[in-house]
Amino acid sequence: MSQIYLKTEDEIELLRAANLLVSATLTEIAKIVKPGVTTRELDTLAEQFIRDHGAIPTFKGFPNPMGGPFPASICTSVNDVVVHGVPSDTPLQDGDIVSVDCGTLLDGFCGDSCYTFCVGEVSDDVKQLLRTTKESLYEGIKAATVGARIGDIGSAVQTHCERAGYGVVREFVGHGIGHEMHEEPMVPNYGKRGNGKQIKNGLCIAIEPMITMGSAEIALLEDRWSVVTRDRLPAAHFEHTIAIHHGKADILSSFSAIEQVEGKLY
């Protein structure tokens, strides 16, 4: 079994810098998300911004055991695409949602965060899905305290979303993070309180609810990357990287600037 690598105070600060760069990148994307913009344009902006700040986009070239390496610097998952959407030249439409997942490598440490954006005027039921998914992320973070278990995080996310009638994707989960983008432990968005690895100071993890409006069943598209809902109903995805610091969760990424740009949409 792979070992969980607990971080020092200095390492947590390096992780914070990498994650705040991800947040700044997503804020730049927030400024241009609108009908008519292509996800390839979002990707071009993101890669340039990341490299201009002395970092490497960790998603670009990421290996896929079922196909070629990931061709872009961000994942852009539109509407019924849950995760790993590949940027394209198809323009975003009024009423779409797009989940933008972004990763950086800065000074040897990784940042990873995701935000689901509204494109133009989005329906109230889709806004409610986004609101609930984002709330569930913070419920999971609240459960991440020293002495608690990884299952407490998943239980908090699952309970909040299923209570609202939404599906919780099982096949893709959060993860540890540090020198590598994906480290131990895995952090599911479902689970039972009191189960799983015990949470300790220095644990750094990415929590990332992937929540569907309908069924949680998923399928893989022909590009071997894009994962969609089987019922083709919308899905939302929000992600923060956190460190367990002085007994509780310290959020290393940030949505505050993104939300200032986007406005109070939901």
Q: Are 42 and 100 in contact (CB under 8 A)?
A: yes
φ/ψ bin of 239: left (φ > 0), alpha (ψ from -120 to 50), beta (otherwise):
beta
Q: What is the pTM of this model?
A: 0.97
For residue 143, the model assigns a pLDDT of 98
How many helices (H) and strands (E) the chain has is answered by: 5, 15
Q: What is the pLDDT along the chain (266 residues), one digit of tens a residue?
A: 479 999 999 999 999 999 999 999 999 999 999 999 999 999 999 999 999 999 999 999 999 887 789 999 999 999 999 999 999 999 999 999 999 999 999 999 999 999 999 999 999 999 999 999 999 999 999 999 999 999 999 999 999 999 999 999 999 999 999 999 999 999 999 999 999 999 999 999 999 999 999 999 999 999 999 999 999 999 999 999 999 999 999 999 999 999 999 987 87
Domains of the chain: 9-262 (3.90.230.10)
d(CA 164, CA 116): 18
**Would you mind telling me the total number of residues written for the chain in this entry?**
266
pLDDT for 192: 97
How far apart (Å, rounded) are the C-alpha atoms in residues 144 and 26? Answer: 24
Distance (Å, rounded) from C-alpha 184 to C-alpha 118?
A: 32
Residues 6+ apart with CB under 8 A from 106: 14, 17, 18, 21, 53, 54, 55, 56
**Per-residue pLDDT at 85:** 98
Alpha-carbon gap, residue 29 to 184, rounded angstroms: 30
Q: What is the largest CA-CA distance in the chain?
A: 48
Residues contacting residue 170 through CB under 8 Å, at least 6 positions apart: 188, 189, 190, 216
